[in-house]
Amino acid sequence: MDMTVRPRRLRTSETLRKMVRETRVDAASLVYPIFVMEGKNKKEEIDAMPGQYRYTVDLFCKAIKSLYKDGVHAIMIFGIPDKKDEKASQAYAKDGIVQKALKAGKKACPDMYFITDVCLCEYTSHGHCGVISKKEVLNDPSVELIAKTALSHAKAGADMVAPSDMMDGRVGAIREILDKNGYENIPIMAYSAKYASAFYGPFREAAGSAPSFGDRKGYQMDFHNGREGIKEILLDIDEGADIVMVKPAMSYLDIVANAKEMIDVPMAAYSVSGEYAMVKAAAANGWIDEDRIVAEMSVSAYRAGVDIYITYYAREIAKMIRDGVIG
């Protein structure tokens, strides 16, 4: 056959395939989400997330040391308090669960990078991400408490804060309160394009944060909208976000790819609990090859333009990079 261009020429050996790869992956870009609860010496497996746990602070310290050794150098902390109330008091309490985890964790594993999820839903009695009046989630009073929570995390030692509530104006409010209190060097990673998603199902069980009435569609985004995701991302950058995030990851990589063209800050994507649960369940049934699926899922996020990948599979991905399976 008379052909000048034969794309298969560049696929003839593993060495060559690796040489011409378009996407390179580095474990330095991985962030592992981790759940911390009150109590001592306890570790509870999350039903719908086999292999993921809620840790008491002591075992959390152990877990992050082992994680660090395995090549994961950044975590995102989620707190599960004992007491919940209307005002989410435990979210910004000096001895709240995240604050305690930060203090102990920094001592146990000083080289780990500590990011905190900043939200109220795990701390409110009604499970919404803000303050409620007449069944409505109020924006501005919620922002006030969210900013207070971010400051309290910074005071307890957080290296970065990540607001996930989707209230309007929260990034600006957090930047302002951090700066006023001498934390001008603490970066904000904003959950910017966060969609109202059924993919968060297992997380809500893990954190006991399902809303007791209604849903989150009044603040999280409608999954039919792509351009609105870009609008949220640009708005957060305007308000001072250092890093922006798209969430969930797998079904939302169009938002990553489109936004990436327009922005000059790092882009993160969060592969959420439902993505993890689906892979685990299918793998447990022997229907898919877990490692290969995780390899494709993660590389596709990077291929779309992600700089930071937040995933419950961080440890496994770090190993795959080390072993040369991906990279």
DSSP 111-158: TSEEEEEE-STTTBTT--SSEEETTEEEHHHHHHHHHHHHHHHHHHT-
Smallest gap from Cβ 17 to ligand PBG, in A, equals 33
CB-nearer residue toward ligand PBG: 81 or 107: 81
Burial label for 250, CB within 10 Å (0-12, 13-18, 19+), is middle
Is the separation of the CB atoms in 308 and 243 below 8 Å? yes
Residue with tokens 């969609």: 195
CA distance 71 to 69: 5
- Residue nearest ligand PBG, Cβ-based: 203
In the chain, beta strands by DSSP E: 30-37, 43-46, 49-56, 74-80, 113-118, 131-133, 136-138, 160-163, 189-194, 243-247, 267-271, 308-311
Smallest gap from Cβ 137 to ligand PBG, in A, equals 12
Is the separation of the CB atoms in 79 and 98 below 8 Å? yes
Smallest gap from Cβ 70 to ligand PBG, in A, equals 20
Cα 214 to Cα 211, 270, 291: the distances in Å are: 7, 24, 37
Smallest gap from Cβ 228 to ligand PBG, in A, equals 17
Smallest gap from Cβ 76 to ligand PBG, in A, equals 9
Helix/strand/coil for 198: helix
Strands 43-46 and 49-56: antiparallel
CB-nearer residue toward ligand PBG: 218 or 327: 218
Name residue 124's beta-bridge partners.
85
CA distance 258 to 61: 38
Which residues have a catalytic role annotated? 194, 247
CB-nearer residue toward ligand PBG: 141 or 327: 141
CB-nearer residue toward ligand PBG: 50 or 182: 50
CA distance 53 to 120: 21
Is the separation of the CB atoms in 111 and 75 below 8 Å? no
Binding residues for ligand PBG, rule: CB under 6 A, are: 117, 119, 121, 129, 164, 200, 203-204, 272-273
Smallest gap from Cβ 69 to ligand PBG, in A, equals 24
Smallest gap from Cβ 324 to ligand PBG, in A, equals 28
CB-nearer residue toward ligand PBG: 99 or 142: 142
Distance of CA 40 to the CA centre of its chain: 25
CB-nearer residue toward ligand PBG: 122 or 239: 122
Is the separation of the CB atoms in 94 and 147 below 8 Å? no
